[in-house]
Amino acid sequence: MTTRRLLLVNGPNLNLLGTREPDIYGAETLDDVEALVTEVATARGYEIRAIQSNHEGVLIDAIHEARHDCAGIVINPGGLTHTSVVLRDALSGVALPVAEIHISDVMAREPFRHHSYVADVAVVHVVGQGVPGYRVATERLIDHIDGR
């Protein structure tokens, strides 16, 4: 049985939260995201291991490692959502439940953002709820893991 731990993955450019296009992504920072997810998870008896990288291979390595000690993955793949088959394959390959989160409503944005390579491997999808969507995604993923 895996440890009651979740991996929180934030992809490219999410380190710029709070300063990058605040009209789209809001004023909250990556630190705020990590604190929110940690608060939610801790209240439900889970630990969080968080990673953000602008490098696809670093994210894939972290996802592979998660299969050893995590019960699930909360991921905002950023732009890799729409481009990365290998990220999708990594998530599929570790066979952990996945919650896909997007701060903005990607379906209301440019057409190239309308396709997600992650969607078919995720059991939870939260889109367009801003940073508070991370709370929803984490709660729904834990509910799924705990059989609720």
Q: What is the identity of the amino acid at 79?
A: G
| CA angle in degrees (0–180, nearest 5) for 144-146-148 | 65
Query: Binding site: residue ranges?
Result: 76, 82, 89, 103-104, 113
Residue 113 has pLDDT above 60, yes or no: yes
Residue 105 pLDDT class (50, 70, 90 cuts):
confident
Contact 34, 8 (CB under 8 A): yes
Contacts of 110 (CB under 8 A, 6+ apart): none
**HSE toward the beta carbon, residue 78, CA cutoff 13 A:** 19
pLDDT in tens, 54-71: 999 999 999 999 999 999
Query: Binding site for substrate: residue ranges?
Result: 76, 82, 89, 103-104, 113
* Cα–Cα distance, 53 to 37 (Å, whole number): 17
Could you give the percent of the chain with pLDDT greater than 90? 84
pLDDT in tens, 23-54: 888 889 999 999 999 999 999 999 999 999 99
Which 3-state string (H, E, C) describes 33-83? HHHHHHHHHHHCCCEEEEEECCCHHHHHHHHHHHHHHCCEEEEECHHHHHC
Matching CATH number, 5-143, of 3.30.565.10, 3.40.50.9100, 3.30.1360.120, 3.40.640.10: 3.40.50.9100
Averaged pLDDT of the chain: 94
Residues acting as catalytic residues: 25, 102
3-state secondary structure of 13: coil
Reported pTM:
0.94
- Domain positions in the chain are 5-143
